[in-house]
Amino acid sequence: MLYLIGLGLGDEKDISLRGLEAVKRCENVYLEAYTSILLVEKSKLEALYGREVIVADREMVEQGVESILEQAKTMEVAFLVVGDPFGATTHSDLQMRAKQLGVTVKVIHNASIMNAIGACGLQLYRFGETISIPFFTDTWRPDSFYDKIKKNRDMGLHTLCLLDIRVKEPCFEALARGKKVYEPPRYMSVNTAVEQLLDIEDRRKEGVYGRETTAVGVARIGTDSQCIISGTLEELLTVDYGPPLHSLVVPGELHVMEQELLATFACNESTPRIQKDLIIDEEDEEP
């Protein structure tokens, strides 16, 4: 039996009673740690579960998943996922491979950014396609998501922008010297996302949005330190949202109640701001 268990958005206390019962029954417990990050130490999970928690990084899941599935044929195995198990394509894939091997899969759902984003005051049913914004590099500045924002906005729909997470990425310079070294983890900030979006608009000039467009920057949704700030893209550039994870919403048409709710999160004098010269560096911020 393979349990896919959502941990929710914050710390060890966001697991459901059902999830906790299951994980306590399992002989082996894996924690998926590359499509999202847990905002709590692994040791706290272990103390709560009374079980060792094995961190499953990208390599392990991509190369070693067969051994996890093999175990699940005869044992109860838990695969813990931050948020909900179906927030990332990987876990649908894992479920399918389990089914193919005749392993029973039981999913225990939880909150994920895909529904908790409702906390920002925009109605969930009025969101269109969700996009992912990857870190630009010197030579790679993709903009296909610009078209998706355009289509959503043409339909009056909101766009949830999931921001890039780079965990345990191999360092190519070190690889070239024959060493396996990993880059420090990087989590895209709302600031970087907005910069990149404005960069694309400057290139494409199709007027999908601009510096005066209202948007919502959010961080650590569902936790005690959650941060929700609405303002123009220009304003959102200057805000200090604090530690990861960050997400951004580019709204479509706003209904009256949505306007009123967004206004309660409006950027103002008491909003924490970042120093301008930090904006350039925050891509390297650590968790």
Binding stretches for its own copies (CB under 8 A): 6, 8-10, 12-18, 20-21, 84-87, 89, 92-93, 95-96, 99, 107, 109-112, 114-116, 118-119, 121, 123-132, 151, 155, 157, 162, 221-222, 257, 260-261, 264
- Residue 157, both tokens: 């729909």
Is 163 labelled as part of a ligand binding site?
Answer: yes
Q: How far is the CB of 157 from its own copies (least distance, A)?
A: 6
Smaller CB distance to its own copies: residue 20 or 37? 20
State the amino acid at position 260 in one-letter form. Answer: E
Q: How far is the CB of 285 from its own copies (least distance, A)?
A: 25
Cβ(242)–Cβ(225) below 8 Å: yes
Query: How long a stretch of residues is the chain?
Result: 287
Q: How far is the CB of 132 from its own copies (least distance, A)?
A: 7
Is 92 labelled as part of a ligand binding site?
Answer: no
3-state secondary structure of 124: helix
Cβ(29)–Cβ(54) below 8 Å: yes
Q: How far is the CB of 179 from its own copies (least distance, A)?
A: 34
Is 84 labelled as part of a ligand binding site?
Answer: yes
3-state secondary structure of 214: strand
Is 207 labelled as part of a ligand binding site?
Answer: no
Cβ(239)–Cβ(231) below 8 Å: yes
Smaller CB distance to its own copies: residue 51 or 126? 126
Smaller CB distance to its own copies: residue 77 or 262? 262
Smaller CB distance to its own copies: residue 95 or 191? 95
Is 230 labelled as part of a ligand binding site?
Answer: no
Q: How far is the CB of 248 from its own copies (least distance, A)?
A: 14
- Residue 152, both tokens: 């959503």
Smaller CB distance to its own copies: residue 36 or 282? 36
Residue given tokens 């994920």 in the structure block: 112
Is 165 labelled as part of a ligand binding site?
Answer: no
Dump the DSSP string for 35-73.
SS--SS-HHHHHHHHTS--EEE-HHHHHHHHHHHHHHHH
Cβ(229)–Cβ(245) below 8 Å: no
| Annotated binding-site residue numbers | 9, 84, 87, 112-113, 163, 246
